[in-house]
Each structure stands twice: as structure tokens, then as C-alpha cells.
């Protein structure tokens, strides 16, 4: 059971997934907040049951899955609904993430959480790691990856905490403005550091 938790975050397109994969290649288990956020509202889940009771069956698509676009529209227009939904889902996501981190068998475990600081999930982890690039690169790489407009990406960047705020709250920072080989070298260096931190935490427990 892994008892040392690292929270990996960064703005959209900063390279979180790329960095997480480099740690995974070194045998480190990942817990992905985006995947868990989808799992807690899967058909048959307690989460989807509660949402259907609150919003009505019109919130479901014909195949019984959640109509995310409709839900987004509804909570965008109504603060109370947004609050209700967050109060329902955030504890479920948090508990599921912790449970799955506890099952991990690597020396430490990484939680990949796009909105780590925005949602206060940094309180759950031993240490935070931020992947950093400039807003220009963020917009450029994401627009290419998702085949969407730069304007669209810029509005998502603006909705997240600022680069400065994120960096101020980071314990460690990876600079992902360079090429992949530079990224891998930084990951290797941090991996050694986290192995040592995890070992000393286990020893002191």
C-alpha cells in the first residue's frame, strides 16, 4: 500500500498527461481525477441516481448515460444547482481517489488532478508538483491536440487559476517549455527525490 501521495497538476495543455505517463513508465501508479469524475456518474452509480432524482430523467441521454452538455447548461444558469452538484460529487470523487490511491502498490502514488488547487484537493496529498508552460504554449499545444480554436482554449485558460497562483502553491515545478528529452530528465530527477521522501515517510510512521 502506497502511503506517499503526490498531487500532479498544471493548466490545460501544460503536459500533465505526458508527465504522468513518464512516471508510470517508471512503475508509479496513477490515480486520474478525470476518469474518477466520470466513474462516479456512470449508469448504475449512486451519483447518477441522485442527479436523476434532483434534475429529472430529462438529464439522461437515450442510452441512459448522463447528458453532460445539458447538465453544464443547467448549472451554468443556476448557482444553487451548481452548489448542489458540487456538494454531491466532490466528496464522492475525493473518497474514490483516496481509496484507489490506497490500493496502489508503487513506492508512492500520483494523483493527476487538473483542478488540484481550485478544488482544494492539495490538502489530501503530501506534496504538489506543477507542470508549467507559458499561456502561449498552452494555447498552441492544446489547440493542436484537440483540434479546437485558440480562442476556445484561451477562455479555458482564463477560467483556471493563474500561472502565478499555481506556481506559488507548488512544492515542485517541472518546466515543460523544452523538448521531450528535457522533460524526461526532470521526471527522472524528481522520481529519485520522491522515492527518498516516500521511504523516509514510511520509516517515520
**In the complex, which residues of this chain contact ligand ADP (CB under 6 A)?**
10, 12-18, 141, 145, 176, 179-180, 183
Smaller CB distance to ligand ADP: residue 98 or 115? 115
Q: Which is nearer to ligand ADP, 36 or 51 (CB)?
A: 36
CB of 7 to ligand ADP, least distance (A): 14
The nearer residue to ligand ADP, 7 or 47, going by C-beta atoms, is 7
Judging by beta carbons within 10 Å of its beta carbon (0-12, 13-18, 19+), is residue 70 exposed, middle or buried? Answer: middle
At closest approach, how far in Å is the CB of 85 from ligand ADP?
Answer: 23
Q: At what angle do helices 79-103 and 68-77 cross, to 10 degrees?
A: 130
In the complex, the smallest distance separating the C-beta of residue 88 from ligand ADP, rounded to whole angstroms, is: 26
Q: Min. distance of Cβ 159 from ligand ADP in angstroms?
A: 14
Of 10 and 47, CB closest to ligand ADP: 10
81's CB contacts (< 8 A; 6+ apart) are 55, 74, 75
Please state the closest distance from residue 86 (CB atom) to ligand ADP, in A: 22
Cα(24)–Cα(1) distance, rounded to whole angstroms?
16
**Closer by beta carbon to ligand ADP, 1 or else 179:** 179
Residue 51: CA atoms inside 13 Å, Cβ hemisphere, count? 30
Amino acid at each position: 500500500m502506497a502511503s506517499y501521495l503526490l498531487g500532479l497538476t498544471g493548466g490545460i495543455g501544460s503536459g500533465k498527461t505526458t508527465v504522468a505517463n513518464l512516471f508510470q513508465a517508471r512503475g508509479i501508479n496513477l490515480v486520474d481525477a478525470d476518469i474518477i469524475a466520470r466513474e462516479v456518474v456512470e449508469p448504475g452509480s449512486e451519483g447518477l441516481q441522485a442527479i436523476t432524482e434532483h434534475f429529472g430523467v430529462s438529464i439522461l441521454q437515450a442510452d441512459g448515460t448522463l447528458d453532460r452538455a445539458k447538465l453544464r447548461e443547467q448549472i451554468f444558469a443556476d448557482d444553487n444547482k451548481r452548489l448542489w452538484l458540487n456538494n454531491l460529487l466532490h466528496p464522492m470523487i475525493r473518497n474514490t481517489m483516496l481509496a484507489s490511491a490506497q490500493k496502489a502498490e508503487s513506492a508512492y502514488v500520483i494523483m493527476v488532478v487538473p483542478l488540484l488547487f481550485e478544488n482544494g484537493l492539495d490538502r489530501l496529498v503530501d506534496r504538489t508538483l506543477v507542470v508549467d508552460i507559458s499561456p502561449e504554449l498552452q494555447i498552441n499545444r492544446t489547440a493542436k491536440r484537440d483540434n479546437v480554436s485558440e480562442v476556445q482554449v484561451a477562455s479555458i485558460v482564463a477560467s483556471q487559476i493563474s500561472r502565478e497562483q499555481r506556481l506559488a502553491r507548488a512544492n515542485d515545478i517541472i518546466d515543460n517549455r523544452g523538448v521531450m528529452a528535457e522533460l524526461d530528465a526532470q521526471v527522472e530527477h524528481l522520481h529519485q527525490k520522491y522515492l527518498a521522501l516516500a521511504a523516509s515517510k514510511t520509516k517515520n510512521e
